[in-house]
Amino acid sequence: MVKIEEEEWDLEVTPERGLFELPLKDIWHFRDLLVLMVRRDFVSFYKQTILGPMWFFIQPVFTTVVFVFVFGNLAGLSTDGLPQFLFYLAGITAWNYFADCLIKTSTVFRDNAQLFGKVYFPRLVVPISIVIGNLIRFGVQFLLFMGVWFYFFVQGSEIYLTWAALFFPLLLALMAFLGLGLGLMITAMTTKYRDLAFLVNFGVQLLMYATTVIYPLSSAPDKYKHLVALNPMTGIIETFRYAFLGEGMFSWTLLGYSAFVAIVSMILGILIFNKTEKNFIDTV
């Protein structure tokens, strides 16, 4: 009787996977694909554009100029005594990273349906590549922010770094978790309800006005201040301003709340994504 040796496989694709079973090992095996997707998104987004990566700088600068004119000069909103351009640029820099992660992740299933239906790879690679790609964009815009910060500092503006700057990596992680988690939950629903994609783009723009991007939390009316604080991005942006500008309503409670919402959103988003990816191709 011939004994058949059991074969060992580097990768085993199974039809079913538990809800709490995440393909972390598979994601590591496909790290080269992750790098290629980050590069693909970067190149395709600026392909056939005249200014190319210069849009990294143009978009936040133009937005900041408009905010200074409309909210700073016409509306006369408070900036806690900070230079208006620097105040708005700080909020825009942080908000853009969160918003880009949320918007682009919210249509992962719809935008990659053909790719998902042809070849196997861990589906989480795509949303993770979006977060990493946006992190590169954030890094460039953060350098712009620090350049403007240095200019105002040399001019004698009362701005300074505080000890809260040590939380900068944590703030980055919270923005990524929040944008990725909410985006994964939404993309699971857009497989059936395509209207959600339009709602997300519109809703993110409105949500910005309920965050302290264009005004400090200290200037919000008392009856609305707790509503603004319920937005998890409020604690992150306020901490970001306090860390790099020396002004802002830093609160352990506010930052802790933002961290709790971000982590919960991340966990729920991955679980929902993990469940939906099994049969989304039938409904997308």
The radius of gyration of the chain's CA atoms, rounded to the nearest angstrom, is 21
What is the percentage of the chain residues whose pLDDT exceeds 90? 36
Specify the pLDDT at position 9.
57
For residue 75 the two structure tokens come to 């509306």
What tokens does 269 get? Answer: 């988003």
Burial 43-65 (b: 16+ CB within 10 A, else e): eeeeeeeeeeeeebeeebbebbe
- Compute the mean pLDDT over every residue in the chain, rounded to the nearest whole number: 83
Domain boundary assignment for the chain = 24-44+52-282
Predicted confidence (pLDDT) per residue in 21-57, tens digit:
566 677 777 778 788 888 877 777 666 565 666 777 8
pLDDT, one tens digit per residue, over 95-120 is 999 999 999 888 887 777 677 767 77
Task: List, in order, residues 6 or more apart from 114 with CB less than 8 Å away.
Answer: none
